[in-house]
Amino acid sequence: MKKILIAHDGSKSSDKALKKAVELAINLNGSLTVVSVIPELYLTELSSEDRNRIFEVLSRETAEAMEKIRKSLAGKSMDVKTLIRQGDPAEKILETAQKMKADLIITGSHGRHGTKKFLLGSVSSKIVDHSKCPVMVVK
């Protein structure tokens, strides 16, 4: 059985990557783990109270998005798990892949804040550069 890790951040690119991951997991009789990472907020111009409020909103939105994904995949013929991590997105995705002994990481080419002028977004590029398992970047 193939263990597939899909990095999802709510972007259109990660939605496309999720669709591809589901297709592969079903065809390979694999399991799918969907991970979303809430980034650390290092905005020094914000008070800790404001950072906490922003973090709470991001946490709630991420939990709601993961629940929506979990429900949408409930009827599929594969094992599905959703995870939420906090920290540097690329580092947490790589760490999760290593812990679960993923056979494949799938990510979108650009995240929510990606820009078309770069070939790959910074998170997907870092994952490609540092992953110990194969990575599929979906455009």
d(CA 61, CA 95): 23
CATH of the domain at 115: 3.40.50.620
- Judged on CB neighbours under 10 Å (0-12, 13-18, 19+), 91 is middle
C-alpha separations of 85 from 57, 91, 96, 130 in Å: 15, 10, 9, 18
Q: How many domains does the chain have?
A: 1
Tens of pLDDT along 82-132? Answer: 999 999 999 999 999 999 999 999 999 875 544 443 445 689 999 999 999
Range of the domain at 115: 3-138
User: Does pTM surpass 0.85?
Assistant: yes
